Structure 1
Amino acid sequence: MQEDYIKLIFGLKLKQIRTDKKLSLFGLSKLSGLSKSYLNEIENGKKYPKPDKIAILSEKLDVPYDQMVSLKLDKNLAPIGDLLQSKILKEIPLELFGIKESNLIDIVANAPAKVNAFISTIIKIAKNYNFSRESFFLASVRSFQEANNNYFEDLEQSVLKFAKAYQVDLDQTVRSQDLKEILVEEFGYTILDNELSNYDALGKLRSLFVPKTKTLLLSNEIDEAQRNFIFAKELAYNFLDIKERLYTFPWIKFDTFDQVLNNFYASYFAGALIIPSAKIKAKLSAVFEKDTFDANLFLEAINSFNGSPESFYQRLTNILPKAFNIQNLFFLRFTHKANSNKFYLTKELHLSHQQSPHANETNEHYCRRWVSLQKLKDISLGNNTHEFDVQISNYQDDGVKYLVLSSATKDPFRDNHYRSISVGLLINKQLQRKLNFLEDGNIATQNVGVTCERCTITDCKVREVPAIFLEKKAKNENMAAIVATLSSKFS
């Protein structure tokens, strides 16, 4: 049994006994002759008293010595013991959000029955929605990103230090061959290009790193942009001296939260290396300064970097809040199979507050008026390798509008599958000051909802299913009105 666990259990039991006897810490100090600060440390699980001190507490509180030192908890504290023994607190990245484990335990100890009921409720909800441990970790990282406006100055500076140390010219396009040379010459990597493709079961796995021999296995189906990103991530792991890491891209499984967090750090570093801050800021400024939206100029900005459109859009979520003070934005990634009416939201990020377009886990139909879904449909029916459009999405029910930029490309690892990446910027006075082209009449405005099942647009010609939730709400409101009328009539 861990020493910390024993301390915590004794502290919780002492606190419960003291409060049951209506004693304050000061009162127990006077009764036992032990200092108030010492007793407080015991209750917080920081100290375990010596046998003679336990004997004093046992006598003064009229509780048998054996009961005091027993690790068996009564029914009120039993859930806390289960919680501590399950090690779930070790799984939760408390320190990431500035929370001390002792503080959380204190909260639980003050109202064990209510907190236990709350925890049980969360677990039941998670099970009902198939919310896995992996989902929890990913949601935690996403919240961490949102809390920091998805901008990390220390990682930006690390990229500049790396570029200086290895003479990488960030004003020029960063090439995979240059990054490969650093991996091989500086960090002793062996890179094999064709091995993964010999195994059909590996599917869309793009890379596998074998740490013992520093061998990096690559799929021969990856393009230059993907190769560049993989090499940049490997350099991040080495330059940032990250030990706790994932070894496949994309990940198959992970064992600890640190692996998930470090994967994010490495991905951020890679994006900042391939799409340097100074260069993308200059490209965006050129687009924003025009009085009309120049789609070709925006696409030229994407193509000026040796990265995928997704990397570019991800980088927008780093740069726009910091460099342009555009902080109300969202990022969405959808996937779609040709000739299917299903669209899956596989990644999302919301800065400042939860935006109107958001993931739905109950198989509802996302609004077909979203530009991200329109572009997916266009690319699946045509022959283009990249579909792009811009739209002003008007969420009438919420009273907000977003400027949405969206790109759709083919999924290189799955036949007849496509993906779209979108960034939406909340239209407010701040955005109007930053984007000269915002009044461009050529940008289409579309009234949109979130899902068909909850949409109030009555004349929608692309609706997949009726607004069943709104119909049910209206029916209930009508029933409530009739009940109120009858109650008034016969009261």
Structure 2
Amino acid sequence: MCGDTEMTDHDGSYILSVISLARNLKRRRKEKAFTRYDISDRAGISPSFYSELETGRKSASGETLRRVTKALDMSMDELQSDRYDAALEALLDFQDPDIAIKEGIELLDKAPHLAKAIPRLLANVARVYDRGSKKEVIYPILLREFQKENWNHFPDIEDEVKHFLDEHPPRGTSPDAHDLQGILRYVYKYTIKTQHDFNESRYQHLPIIRSMWFRKGQHNYLLLNQHLLKSQKAFELAKEIAYNLPFLRTKETLAHRVPTSPRVGVRSYTQLLNEFKASYFAGALLMPKDALEADIATFFAQKTFQPERLWAILDTYNVTPEMLLHRLTEILPGKRFGIKKLHFLRFRYDRYMQREPREWQVFNLTKLLDLDSLRFPYVESSGEKYCRRYSSLQVLRDMANALENGSIRGEDLYRRPLVRMQRSRFANEAYRDNTYLCLTMAQPLTLQPDILVSVTIGFVIDEHFKRTVQFWDDTANIEPHGPHGPNAIELGHTCQRCPLSHDQCADRAAEAVIFREEERNKEMAQLMSATERELLG
């Protein structure tokens, strides 16, 4: 270590040495009953710098370490000894230096056995989920927990957007692709190619790239797919602007930057977190909080559900259905609406699969945000079938049929996506007390028109929601329709877990094998309990 520096990317052995050094500093200080202020004073360094040494956030020069070891009355060999090989290596096996260093030290202090076991457990969870590597499963889980902890509402990023709009006032309600492109070119000196050909026809087996960023020296380049809608180009440009603002433009961020959209080659949780912050900023920039809240308040004040008002909002901000509904998950938990019990789902469906029998059709859940403890599972790849009664899935099948028989054209769906509103209730006991109002919008993918996508935002219908959303009990425009009040459709999470019989559900795509096994286990537990009571009198 040639100087006192902040931590950046390093190989595994270096990370292990940093964690071990930090642990040994803290252990020795406690043995000597010194405070951090005592050591920093004796070593001639600041208390904050010593604190960052103990937490592994900074490394130090050899001279600084010699002063610290002298203050602690320990040798350099003692400082660099490693007593926690197995646990440290297990943490590093998680393959995210940020988590391994910042969280690992505290975990090792409190429970070394857990520090060894948890990463192995997470790796096994990834395999059970059958969704690829740990990075593809565990990092998104950590991100969703971060969103849930903050109710997916981040005032600091909202403030960044307000400050940016004050410095760069838009011509309309919000900046468009032309405005953002000009800012990147003339303020941040980017070279931008907005009509790039990524050779999709040649590389059909690869994910279709929406945008790509790279850096040569001090100059930034951004390539945008030529087939993107204007709204999608605006979103990619807004994300790129976020990476040039103080809250994201750091040396650490440049080292933890995902160069493509969609994300390819995610190496750490920090990368995923930075992408989330940049995407949050982009959505907030295209749909400024105050203006959108006013439009949504007007929408919620209607006594009947009116899809055309949603289309008007899409036109006002020139955004896609996914951008709009995801933005609602960010503003609705805030002070103005206070709607925190919500979830967001995105499903994909290959329209040509609709020719297959129901039991062979596959609906892939590709995005999930759960703020209402719904615990929606990622299961389709494991053989379980999502409930075909979800509005999310029904609208995809209906769209596939309409495209097949020619009653609707794909290009029309980009202007006016299909819209459904459904009241539903889960048939399993844990969720029977909750009735949900689910808004779904659907259209084909721009870059892959044969792939149909639905996005859904669902709300728990409680008393606060009823006071806020006036059309919650509309029976004419919200499914199920009927004259006898606001009923709800009975759902299951998956067919295999659903208690509804074949007579109760004609849409079943698989037998309820998991539900039956759980019921047998309950009956066995009851039998054992009754036998014990009988024997004990």
Counterparts in 2 of 1:484 and 1:159: CA distance versus 1, 3 Å: closer
Q: Which AA in structure 1 matches 2:142?
A: S
2:326 aligns with 314
Residue in structure 2 matching 1:355, options 374, 377, 386: 374
CA 1:168–1:83 in structure 2 vs 1: closer, same or farther (change >3 Å)?
same
401-410 vs 127-136, greater mean Cα deviation: 127-136
* Alignment-derived partner of residue 86 in structure 2: 79
SS at match of 2:183: helix
Q: Of the candidates 426, 435, 441, which is equivalent to residue 401 of structure 1?
A: 435
Q: What amino acid is aligned across from residue 185 of structure 1 in structure 2?
A: Y
Q: Name the amino acid aligned to 1:182.
A: I
Q: Deviations for 1:241-272, whole angstroms, at most 9, x for unmatched residues? A: 52422221111112333222111111111111
**141, 155, 165: which one pairs with 2:167?**
165
Secondary structure of residue in 2 paired with 1:336: strand
Give the partner amino acid of 1:279: A
The alignment partner of 1:258 has SS state of helix
Partner of 2:181: 180
Distance 2:421 2:339 in 1: 17
CA distance in 2, matches of 1:145, 1:258: 14
Alignment-derived partner of residue 451 in structure 1: 494
- Following the alignment from structure 1 to structure 2, what is the Cα–Cα distance between the partners of residues 90 and 304? 43
- Unaligned regions of 5+ residues in structure 1, if any? 16-24, 29-33, 56-64
Q: Which residue in 2 is equivalent to 1:92?
A: 99
What is the CA distance between 1:362 and its match in structure 2? 2.9
Which residue is equivalent to 2:108?
105
Q: Indicate the SS of the match to 1:473.
A: helix
Q: SS in structure 1 opposite 2:212?
A: strand
| 1:462 matched residue in structure 2 | 507
Distance 1:118 1:214 in 2: 40
Distance 1:141 1:114 in 2: 21
Which residue number in structure 2 is paired with residue 249 of structure 1? 261
- Distance (Å, rounded) in 2 between the aligned partners of 1:225 and 1:447: 36
The C-alpha deviation readout for 1:336-357, integer Å capped at 9, x for no partner, is 0114211011001112x42154
Query: 1:343·1:373 contact (CA, 8 Å) conserved in 2?
Result: yes
CA gap 1:12/1:79 in 2 versus in 1, 3 angstroms: farther
Structure 1 residues 294 and 69: CA distance shift in structure 2, 3 A: closer
| Partners of 1:83 and 1:89 within 8 A in 2 | no
How many Å separate the matches in 1 of 2:532 and 2:91? 52
Q: Could you list the per-position Cα deviations for residues 64-83 of structure 1 after superposition, in whole angstroms to 9, with x for gaps in the alignment?
A: x99x789364xxx5423434
Equivalence for 1:132: 134
* Mean CA deviation greater in 6-15 or 323-332: 6-15
Give the share of equivalent positions with the same residue, in percent.
Answer: 27
1:470 to 1:221, Cα distance in 2 relative to 1, 3 A: same
Partner of 1:474: 519
Query: Shift of residue 441 of structure 1?
Result: 2.0
Change (3 A) 1:337 1:463: same
CA distance in structure 2 between the partners assigned to 1:289 and 1:262 by the alignment: 36
Residue from 299, 312, 317 that aligns with 1:305: 317
User: 2:418 is matched with which residue?
Assistant: 387
Aligned partners of 2:495 and 2:510 also within 8 Å: yes
Structure 1 14/82 Cα, relative in aligned 2: closer, same or farther at 3 Å? Answer: farther
Which has more radius of gyration? Answer: 1
The whole-number CA distance in structure 2 between the counterparts of 1:13 and 1:435 is 56
Residues in 1 aligned to 2:303 and 2:71: alpha-carbon distance in whole angstroms = 79
- The correspondence for 1:372, drawn from 382, 392, 412, is 392
| TM-score, structure 1 as length reference | 0.81
CA deviations 1:172-222 (Å, max 9, x no partner) are x53211221222222222222343333532641011122224222221111
Distance 1:275 1:485, change over 3 A: closer
Q: Distance in 2 between matches of 1:93 and 1:282?
A: 43
Residue 289 of structure 2 corresponds to which residue in structure 1?
277
1:479/1:249 Cα in 2 relative to 1: closer, same or farther (>3 Å)?
closer
Name the Cα RMSD after superposition: 3.4
The structure-2 alpha-carbon separation of the partners of 1:231 and 1:480, relative to structure 1 and needing over 3 Å to count, comes to: closer
Match for residue 334 of structure 1 among 337, 344, 347: 347
Partner of 2:62: none
Deviation at 1:35, TM superposition (A): 4.7
The verdict on how the C-alpha distance between 1:429 and 1:182 changes in structure 2, with shifts beyond 3 A counting, is same
What do residues 396-441 of structure 1 show as CA deviations (whole Å, max 9, x unaligned)?
A: 3312111100001101222421100000011001101101112222
Tell me the distance in 2 between the aligned counterparts of 1:265 and 1:439.
36
Q: Bigger CA drift: 233-242 or 139-148?
A: 233-242
Tell me what 2:301 maps to.
Answer: 289
